[in-house]
Amino acid sequence: MTKIIWIFLIGLGVFTFSYAAEKYDTKAFRTITKLCTSCHGTPFYMAKQIDDDDWEFFFNTPGKLEKIHKNKPKGLAAVQNPLFKKRNKRLLKFFISNSKYSGAVNGCDANFCGTNH
């Protein structure tokens, strides 16, 4: 009986720590870092540039991101990248969660430290 209780407690502890460690979507973070950082700076800095309504407008209006990046070949290639299109909803959620008026203030962690742009 005590063995079952210990297994349950250890499982609960692992779940709790793994849930607490994820402050944001790391897949979205890494996708933004890979595709957008060279022009826009770090993902958190980029997200803070506009508010959540603007992020929704840019992502939900068909062709809007392509139109904005049409004179920037590297940016247009990033927006048309299959990885960007596949994770579009995750990226939007990340940007909204970390947008201008979201109240999120991110500090150092294993993926990000400071704003270099």
Q: What is the pLDDT of residues 31-88, one digit of tens each?
A: 999 999 889 888 888 888 899 999 999 999 999 999 999 999 999 999 999 999 999 9
- pLDDT, residue 117, reads 42
Question: Which pair of tokens denotes residue 109?
Answer: 């962690």
- pLDDT, residue 116, reads 45
> How far is residue 67's CA from residue 2's CA, in Å, rounded to a whole number?
62
pTM above 0.85, yes or no: no
- Higher pLDDT: 94 or 26? It is 94
Question: Which pair of tokens denotes residue 95?
Answer: 């940007």
Question: Which pair of tokens denotes residue 21?
Answer: 């460690």
Burial (0-12, 13-18, 19+ Cβ within 10 Å), 42: buried
How many CB atoms lie under 10 A from the CB of residue 30? 14
| Residues in CB range of 114: below 8 A, 6 or more apart | 42, 108
